[in-house]
Amino acid sequence: MSIGLVFYPDPRLRKVCAPVERFDASLRNLVGEMLELMSSRKGVGLAAPQVGVLRRLFVCNVTGQPADSRVYVNPEIVHMSGAIEAEEGCLSIPNINVPVRRAMRCTIRARNLDGDLFEELAEGLLARVWQHETDHLDGVLILDRTSDAEKLAIRRTLKELEKKFRPARTAARK
């Protein structure tokens, strides 16, 4: 596998990503590797900036069954309703779980690997994952979506991640 996880506080996690323009073999290859990495880490979602690719796409799978793997390219959440708080973690921020308030249901509009536009409606965990991953494409992390009291509670764990962090020596893949 040629990709690896990017960890907090890597500045690449704070960038607004650019739209995907080419729906080609290299996109397909990247998505295959992202799905593999996500499943090896037992994650339910993984966005391109989390592997250092500053493009608007993410993969998810909320059941762990291969048939439920999904890809969303240039996604946009076009409708949200309801609100519910639940604990969230992030593969890029190890050992942290914080309560995050999200819409309960949402509609996403995105392109598939062929570049075709589609729309889907979800609620519960899948809707939460869509919101979490779409946030990544705008440089937004769960740390920005939780309460001040929670931020205080996780301060030491974040400090440890900040101490451990070494900036990548190679340029980010585009």
- The single residue of 133, 150, 160, 162 carrying the catalytic annotation is 133
State both tokens at 76. 């946009």
C-alpha span between 151 and 83 (Å, rounded): 21
Tell me whether residue 22 or residue 40 sits nearer to Zn ion (CB atom): 40
Strands of the sheet containing 45-47, edge to edge, are 45-47, 57-60, 70-81, 105-111, 117-123
* Cβ at position 164, least distance to Zn ion in Å: 18
Per-residue b or e along 111-129, where b marks 16 or more CB atoms closer than 10 Å to that residue's CB: beeeeeeeeeebeeebbbb
- The least CB distance from residue 159 to Zn ion, in Å, is 20
Which residues are within 8 A (CB) of 63 and not within 5 positions of it... i.e. 6 or more apart?
none
Q: Contacts with Zn ion in 74-93 (CB under 5 A)?
A: 90
In whole angstroms, what separates CA 70 from the centre of its chain? 13
Which CB, 44 or 73, lies closer to Zn ion?
A: 44
| Residue 116 or 165 with smaller CB distance to Zn ion | 165
**133 assigned to active site:** yes
Give the number of residues in contact with Zn ion, rule: CB under 5 A: 1
Q: Does 48 help bind Zn ion (rule: CB under 5 A)?
A: no
Please identify, using beta-carbon distances, which residue of 90 and 98 lies nearer to Zn ion. 90
Q: Is 17 in the site for Zn ion (CB under 5 A)?
A: no
Catalytic residues: 133
State the residues that interact with Zn ion by CB under 5 A: 90
